A = this chain, B = another copy of it.
Amino acid sequence: MAILVVGSVAFDNIETPHGKVDDCLGGAATHFALAASFFTPVRVIAVVGEDFTPEHEAVFTRRGIDTQGIEHAPGLSFHWTGSYVGNLNEAKTLGTDLNVFETFEPKIPAAYTDSEYLFLANIDPVLQARVRKQMPNVRMVCGDTMNYWIADHAANLAVVLRELDVLLINDGEARMLSGEQNAVRAAEKVLAMGPKSLVVKHGEYGATAFFGDRSFTGSKHVTVPFRAPALPLAEVVDPTGAGDSFAGGFYGYIASRPVLTPAVFRTAMFYGGVMGSFAVERFGTERLQGVTREEIEERFKLFREMSHLDFEGA
């Protein structure tokens, strides 16, 4: 089933211990869409400027992603400048130029209105809420956010949180949103804000899902969180987009299955980790553009081997 994603399509200037790239195609919606495209059809709502060329669009269309919801506006695309020098676990934002995103008014093409799955990637919660409103009949809504919206746009964010089946954030965001240092108490407070479930990403340590709604995945074991591993990597070239790629793998897999069960949710967490592990192997979206479904399945097996008791080696 098709996922509709709204979020940023952007150009990034990134510096990591492995080097520096400028004007690299990025943005939350881009990473998410590429990762999800290996599992299910994806449709994108975003705005780009005149610097977004047919060559950039081909990055999406080559993966079968529907780009008719990408609006072309006069001016420059959203630009982000960040550095991971000294700390691969957290980006230091050096510059944010919203450009065409400043006046973005999301419009949903008629061909997108039958999308059953909605992903609200990390953008202004006002825009997230506006898209949600235009898609009242979706089967499931997942979303992401970040420290900037948590700190300064709490009331707008609260509206979005009430609409979510799954909120995907990282440890720091969960602490900030809840005001709690302890992971379990933080999860309880975030779930009380509305999301039926919460996936907290721990970077190199994987991710944990917490469930607030008893009926959400049909599991009675609502008090038991689920932990998915991450792949220990000898080299992380560029962490940019790892979280969005996780979300893409996770939600792409869910949208590809007829019914959401606890097993589907768990498997989706593993595919999230798999796509995140590929994303960081090269700068920008390079690795996600080149990865194959066979490589994805192979790495999924590796995640299972890495975490399951009954794998016998042999």
Contact = CB atoms under 8 A, between A and B. Distances in A.
A302 B224 contact: yes
Interface stretch (A24-32, A74-82, A228-236): A228-236
Interface residues of A, number: 45
A218 interface: yes
Contact of A262 (B205, B233, B312): B312
A260 to B, nearest CB: 12
Nearest to A184: B234
A306 interface: yes
A309 B306 contact: no
Contacts of A50: none
Given A206-B205, A232-B183, A233-B184, A307 B310 contact: no
A20 to B, nearest CB: 20
B208 A183 contact: no
Interface stretch (A98-106, A239-247, A263-271): A263-271
Interface in A165-208: 182-185, 187-188, 202, 204-206, 208
Interface string A22-63: 000000000000000000000000000000000000000000
Given A182-B235, A312-B262, A313-B262, A306 B205 contact: no
A148 interface: no
Contact of A313 (B221, B225, B304, B314): B221
A58 B311 CA distance: 41
Contact of A234 (B182, B224, B234, B313): B182
Interface centre among A206, A232, A266, A305 (most CB of B within 10 A): A232
Interface of A: 182-185, 187-188, 202, 204-206, 208, 217-221, 224-229, 232-236, 261-263, 266-267, 270, 302, 304-314
Given A182-B236, A185-B234, A205-B206, 14 more contacts: A182-B234, A184-B233, A208-B232, A221-B305, A226-B306, A226-B307, A261-B312, A261-B313, A262-B311, A262-B312, A262-B313, A263-B310, A266-B309, A270-B309
